[in-house]
Chains A and B, each alone.
Chain A
Amino acid sequence: MNLNIKYFGVLAEITQCSEETLSFSEGTVGELLAVLQAKYPALGTKDFQVAHKQEIVTKDTKITNPEIALLPPFSGG
């Protein structure tokens, strides 16, 4: 499946893009994160949540939909 991955905030600075298409055979969110961290090692230094089908999910969620977003916390006010 071709995933459409959106990166927000500081994560977009790490990946140098706000969005990308990535081919991913099948697996869980945790497995996808391992792939992404191998591609962008600095992702491992940041805390963020993952949305799948526009919903926050846990790492053991199986990916069934191409829409993925990585959301870090923002502190600014």
Chain B
Amino acid sequence: MSRYSRHIQLTEIGEAGQRKISQAKVLVVGAGGLSCPALQYLTAAGIGTLGIIDFDVVEESNLQRQVLFGTSTIGMNKALAAKQRLEDLNPTISIHAYPEKLTVKNAIALFTDYDIIVDGSDTIATRYLINDAAIVCDKPIVYGAIYKFEGHLAVFNYNHGPTYRSLFPEPPRNGSVANCSEVGVLGVLPGIIGAMQANEVLKIVLGFRGVLSGKLLCYHSQTGQTNVISVPKSKSSIEEDLLKSGILSDTYEATCDVLIPNISAEEALQTENTLFVDVRGFGEIPEVMLPNSMHIPLHELEQRLDEFRFEKNYMIFCATGARSTIAIARLQKHFNHHFYNVIGGATALLAQIKQPHE
């Protein structure tokens, strides 16, 4: 086919490689700054089945970097607008637009239908949701993320390799990370990173060596400097729970958006009418022995809500504050009690118990 002749001329691709490309199924999450160039090159390359999921609509301020859209598509859903543009670019492939939000309810069913997930999302919550759903479905993620003039590129969960949680085990605290709509971004930067994401997708599809698995490429558009950082695979109890249960937690948004009251270990231990709740998995160390405490691993929380029926000050803790934050966000939906996140978790509590302040 003349459309792909420049691919086929490459001995590294050839007709067999182009066939692999035409059989590949790639889901792109988000149709924003990163996804537009990624989608453009994946479509042009002839990826056989492309999925695009985005609930958002095109705004004028997107046109500075989201190159699939134009003034005529302002106000239109981005997934549908992208599909319309891409079908003109390459009518020989099949493109599915999902004009909806990626959620815990649709993620697994959607991911199951594709071979590779491209993370072009723009919130931290969605990035954790993508990671966790990809782990449940055993799919590689081609990850891209940007901040002002800097970009990140990596491949996660490739042949059970390192994941996003190997890099950032748990979501950052509220307000610790801003997105493009809050801070601005150089328009061409997502173009560069998004095109590199398309490149990683093709490397995976073609079985090339040198896939950026477990490597974080950091690019600075002002200096042109590139740093490649190795991300060793780390043990994540959240991911182990996911592999066992196959069920996603329902509070990805909550962990990043809801205000969680924090309390120091010292203050928590001095508060009256308290009940300490350890939401870590069973057997996690250090063990914290307190008389007024209970142990409810996060994945059992929904089944054990009745244990929170008493009016008390609940001091929720885990290892770092991520799972306790998720637990509190869930508990706040059911009860009006006071729930506090113990800063420093089990380690901080233990230090206080061993060396109480006079």
Is the pair A73, B168 in contact by a Cβ cutoff of 8 Å? yes
CB within 8 A of A74: which of B33, B147, B173, B227? B147
A25 at interface, CB cutoff 8 A: no
Whether B180 contacts A77 by the Cβ 8 Å rule is yes
The interface on chain A, measured as residues whose beta carbon lies within 8 A of the other chain's beta carbons, has a size of: 21
Given known contacts A56-B167, A56-B232, A69-B227, is B33 in contact with A77 (CB within 8 Å)?
Answer: yes
> Using a Cβ cutoff of 8 Å, how many contacts connect chains A and B?
95
Q: A73-B124, A75-B179 are in contact. Are A55 and B232 (CB under 8 A)?
A: yes
Q: Which one of B33, B179, B229 contacts A51 once the chains associate, using CB atoms below 8 Å? A: B229
Question: Is there contact, CB below 8 Å, between B231 and A56?
Answer: yes
Does A41 touch B at the CB level, under 8 Å?
no
Cβ–Cβ contact B230 & A55, under 8 A = yes
Within 8 A of B (CB), among A26-77: 45-47, 49, 51, 54-56, 69, 71-77
Q: A24: shortest Cβ distance to chain B, in Å?
A: 20
Asked if B123 lies at the interface with its beta carbon under 8 angstroms from chain A, I say yes
A77 touches which of B144, B176, B232 (Cβ 8 Å): B144
Q: How large is the interface on B (under 10, 10 to 19, 20 to 34, 35 or more residues)?
A: 35 or more
Given A8-B218, A9-B147, A54-B228, check contact A77 B168 (CB 8 Å).
no
Closest beta carbon of chain B to A61's beta carbon, Å? 11
Chain A residue, CB-CB nearest to B170: A47
- Chain A residues lying within 8 Å of B151, measured Cβ to Cβ, are 74
**Contacts A56-B230, A73-B124 hold; do A10 and B178 have CB atoms under 8 A apart?**
yes
Do A74 and B152 touch (CB < 8 A)? yes
**Complex alpha-carbon distance, A35 and B180, angstroms:** 31
Chain B residues within an 8 Å CB radius of A55: 229-232
Q: List 12 A-B contacts (CB under 8 A).
A: A8-B218, A10-B147, A47-B176, A55-B232, A72-B176, A74-B177, A75-B145, A76-B33, A76-B190, A77-B32, A77-B33, A77-B120
